[in-house]
Structure formats: structure tokens, C-alpha cells
Amino acid sequence: MCEMNFHLKPSLLIALCLLLSSCDRTQFFYDRADWLIRYKIDHYLDLDAPQKRVIKQDVEQLLGWHRRTQLTCYAELIDEFESRARNATTVADLHWLEAKFSDHYYAAIDNIIEPTAVVLSELDTKQINHFEKRLAKDRSELRDELERNPDQRQKRKTKKTLTGIKKWFGSLPSTQKAWITKRSEELPDAYGPWLENRTQRDRALIKLLRSQPTPQMIGRLIMPLWIDAGASMSSETNALIEELKRQSRSMAVEFYASTSPKQKAHFWKRLQEYRNDFIQLASADGAAQCASTEGLASSR
């Protein structure tokens, strides 16, 4: 599944690269999304047969809602973004883009919270133990990355950034590679504080699940974390992340200004391919207009 760090929400070109680069074709993803999502859920929760049937129905409904109400919105967002930013991109454009992404993220969260809380409320002790072990394993792997030699970790991050940008803009001359490397190394490192916050959130969730909570109690815990992860972070960590976002925006604006006409054309051509995929997928479900505020229940 496409990945996007909703705790940091990196901006503009880098955000778009990270959001879409792991999904080469949208159709390919959608053809397999149902299975991929259910596999991931079962990986963490070790569901029994009746629970799997419920999850299958929930996922199918969620994906149907998403195709009918969100994909046309994504296509319109791409068109509007291009009209604003094709010739020159500003920090204001990035704030606008982040706000639009947030709107669609919140719409998805509104539809995910209730079924997620219900499933979590029905876990037995064995499943909660399994969930706790999976979360701990994830954190252990993340901590291994944190404890890696700082130079090695920075090289890995820079390589990943270069690979994503190259995928969207085509080949990069040595001057651009050097500039990206330098700017990447200058970005604040929020990985450690983020991991510590995740550890606290994981433990709070497991503690709640062991108390036999109602779905409403679980929803009250996870909704604020999903809507605004910063609410559970210290003021120092929030300040660090805000600075990371500010520098990321500046880096994105400066990089786009440095790109050649050929590189810009490569980026917008690739983005339009996704736009066309969104339209095609939405049309297959009869969606002709954006319905970003429409809930799952009203779209059934």
C-alpha cells in the first residue's frame, strides 16, 4: 500500500513522491487493495474466521466508498494544483496542498474509526497479546534504525529521497544530487522523538484494550491520535516537527525552481497519469463528481 507519514506530512513534491511512488499504477493497487488491507490487519490481530468475514465486509465497503467519493476529488486536486504551481511553486501552494490532503485524510478517518474500534473491542486476550508483540516487533525494528550509525542512517535517507525524486523528475545532474544531499543532511531529525511518542501511544492502546473497553472508549482514544498526532507530543517535539516541515517546504520550493523544463514536464506528465487513473476508476463505479464530505453510510 502507498505509504505516507501522517505524523510529519512532508510537503509538495516530496509529499507527492512519497504518497504515490510506491504504487506504480493505481489500478494495480486497487485490484489488490482488499486482500492487502485484510492481510495487514490479520497480521497484527490474528483474527478468527467470523472476525475475518466482518473485516472483509468492512474493507469492501470502505474501498467502495473511497472509489465513489474520493478518487474524483483527487483528480480535481491534481488539476487545481497544476494550475497553481506548474510554472512556479510557493510556500503558500504547499500550505494549500497540505490542507487539501488533510481534508481527504480526515474524511477517511471518519469512516475508519467506528469499524476499527468495534474490531479492537472484540479482541480476546490471546489476540491482544499477539497485537502487543507485533507492535513491539515493529518498534524494535524502528529502534534498530534509530541506533544505526548516524552517517549510515543519513545516507539511507538521502538515497531514498534521491530515488523518489528521480522517479518523478527523471535523471538528475550531479549538481542537483549534491544539493539534495546537502539539504537533506541539514533537515532536523525528528525520528527519535516520533518513535518515543509511538511507543507511548502503543502502550496506551494495549492498556485500554486489556480493560475490556467499549468501541466508544477506543474511538475516544484513537480519534485524537489519528487526527492530530501532535496533541500527544511534547511542545519540544512539536516544535522540532514544525521546523522539519518548514525546512521541507523551503527545500521543495527551491528544488522545483531549479528543475529544467524537461524535468518539470516529466513530473506533470507522471502526475497526470495518476489523475487519469483516478478518473477511470471512479467512472467505473459511476462517480462523476467529487464528494469529499460524503460519509460511508450515506454512500451505500
pLDDT of residue 206: 97
The pLDDT profile of the chain, 300 residues, written as one tens digit per residue, is 333 333 333 333 333 443 444 445 667 777 788 888 899 999 999 999 999 999 999 999 988 888 888 889 999 999 999 999 998 899 999 999 989 988 888 888 888 999 999 999 999 999 999 999 999 999 999 998 888 788 888 888 899 999 999 999 999 999 999 999 999 999 998 888 989 989 999 999 999 999 999 999 999 999 888 877 777 788 998 899 999 999 999 999 999 999 999 999 999 999 999 899 889 888 876 655 676 554 444 443
How are the residues of the chain apportioned to helix, strand and coil, as percentages rounded to the nearest 5?
80, 0, 20
**CA 244, CA 247: separation in Å to the nearest integer?**
5
118: Cβ contacts below 8 Å, ≥ 6 apart: 215
Which whole-number Å values give the CA distances from 296 to 111, 164, 202, 246, in the listed order? Answer: 6, 33, 27, 34
> What is the DSSP-derived secondary structure letter of residue 85?
H
Backbone Cα Rg of the chain: 20
Distance in angstroms (rounded) separating the CA atoms of residues 8 and 194: 9
What local confidence, expressed as pLDDT, does residue 123 receive? Answer: 97
Nearest to 57 by CA among 32, 40, 37: 37
Q: For residue 300, what pLDDT is reported?
A: 38
Using CA atoms, how far residue 20 sits from 1, 29, 169, 201, 221, in Å, is 9, 11, 14, 27, 29
Q: What is the largest CA-CA distance in the chain?
A: 59
Looking at residue 11, its pLDDT comes to 33
pLDDT of residue 148: 78
Taking alpha carbons only, the member of 171, 166, 24, 12 closest to residue 86 is: 12
Looking at residue 173, its pLDDT comes to 97
Distance CA 33, CA 70 (A): 15
| pTM exceeds 0.75 | yes
Cβ–Cβ < 8 Å for 167, 193: no
How many residues are recorded in the chain?
300
